[in-house]
């Protein structure tokens, strides 16, 4: 019986989403045909819009294992973006619920952490040690015998809430990069997560227009953050679409979300097309 109910819910959801997409396509079709485009260009624009809306319909992903970081740890002037990437990675090795001395979570050894990140010797190793030293100095991590300890408060005792970090996107980053380079990309992902609030659908979808707030949270320049974000798009770490928005200069804007929230991305795009926030999709 439960299986039948779940199947019916999925069918109802698919029909609702399909209707929204059809409405959005029709709206854009009408808009394009009312503008002075040649017929060939009209067809190209319509095809681009249809492909963009259907981009993630084939996905049926569930969210992966996750861990968390206290939100009050962000915006610390003593911690640079690479250190935030390292801290986010360390957080994934800690249990979601503290189990050591009530407030802290034990994780892997420092040597094993270097191996997982593919950090060798020489300058990369020295930089890694410097970053670890800073994180210890600010009190975010400490050492207990041969193990690192992340000094998080209990989940319900955080002062500003927490940032949820999913394992799958970080694994994807590490599968395509090596060494310290991966840390700035993980930091960019952390900044994305800091802007997502999972309680409401519309807060699961971000746009590149709010990049300044996101980059500031990890002490990364907006320009560098935009480059890292583009890497996350190009390497399929995040779901994304590119749109021309209804502004005086008709600027292009990225809409993006977690891959497991691609359905929310499609709904947001449809809504913004129908209320004329988006003129058309280009990718």
Which pLDDT score, from 0 to 100, does residue 238 have? Answer: 95
pTM, to two decimals: 0.81
What are residue 280's phi and psi, to 5 degrees?
-165, 165
**pLDDT value at residue 18:** 58
CA distances, 283 to each of 18, 108, 245 (Å): 19, 41, 13
Q: What is the DSSP letter of 100?
A: B
Say how far apart CA 218 and CA 81 lie, in whole Å: 5
pLDDT of residue 97: 53
Do 194 and 71 contact (CB within 8 A), yes or no? yes
- Render pLDDT for 229-278 as a digit per residue (tens, 0 to 9): 999 999 999 999 999 998 888 889 999 999 988 878 888 887 888 778 88
| 85, 190 Cβ separation under 8 angstroms | yes
End-to-end CA distance of the chain: 41
The CA distances from residue 9 to 53, 81, 153, 200, in Å, are 22, 42, 39, 19
Element (H, E) at 276: none
* Residue-wise pLDDT tens digits, 82-100: 999 999 999 988 765 554 4
Tens of pLDDT along the chain (283 residues) come to 444 444 343 443 333 455 666 666 666 666 555 554 555 555 545 555 666 667 776 555 666 788 899 999 999 999 999 999 999 999 988 765 554 445 566 777 888 888 889 888 889 999 999 999 999 999 999 988 778 888 988 888 889 999 999 999 999 999 999 888 999 999 999 999 999 887 654 578 899 887 888 999 999 999 999 999 999 999 999 999 999 998 888 889 999 999 988 878 888 887 888 778 888 888 8
């Amino acid at each position: 019986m439960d299986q039948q109910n779940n199947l019916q819910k999925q069918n109802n959801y698919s029909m609702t989403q399909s209707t929204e997409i059809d409405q959005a396509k029709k709206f854009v079709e009408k808009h394009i045909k009312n503008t002075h485009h040649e017929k060939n260009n009209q067809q190209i624009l319509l095809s681009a819009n249809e492909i963009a809306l259907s981009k993630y319909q084939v996905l049926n992903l569930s969210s992966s294992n996750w861990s968390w970081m206290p939100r009050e740890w962000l915006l610390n002037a003593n911690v640079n973006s690479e250190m935030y990437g390292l801290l986010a990675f360390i957080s994934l090795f800690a249990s979601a619920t503290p189990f050591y001395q009530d407030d802290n979570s034990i994780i892997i050894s420092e040597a094993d952490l270097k191996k997982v990140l593919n950090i060798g010797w020489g300058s990369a190793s020295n930089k890694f040690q410097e970053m670890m030293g800073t994180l210890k100095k600010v009190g975010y991590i400490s050492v207990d015998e041969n193990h690192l300890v992340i000094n998080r408060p209990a989940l319900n005792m955080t002062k500003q809430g927490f940032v949820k970090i999913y394992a799958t996107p970080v694994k994807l980053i590490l599968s395509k990069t090596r060494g310290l380079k991966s840390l700035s990309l993980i930091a960019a992902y952390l900044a994305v997560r800091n802007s997502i609030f999972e309680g409401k659908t519309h807060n699961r979808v971000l746009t590149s227009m709010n990049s300044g707030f996101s980059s500031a949270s990890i002490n990364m320049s907006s320009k560098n953050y935009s480059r890292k974000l583009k890497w996350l798009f190009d390497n399929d770490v995040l779901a994304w679409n590119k749109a021309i928005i209804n502004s005086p200069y008709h600027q292009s804007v990225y809409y993006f979300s977690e891959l497991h929230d691609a359905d929310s991305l499609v709904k947001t795009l449809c809504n913004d097309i129908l209320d004329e926030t988006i003129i058309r999709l280009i990718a």
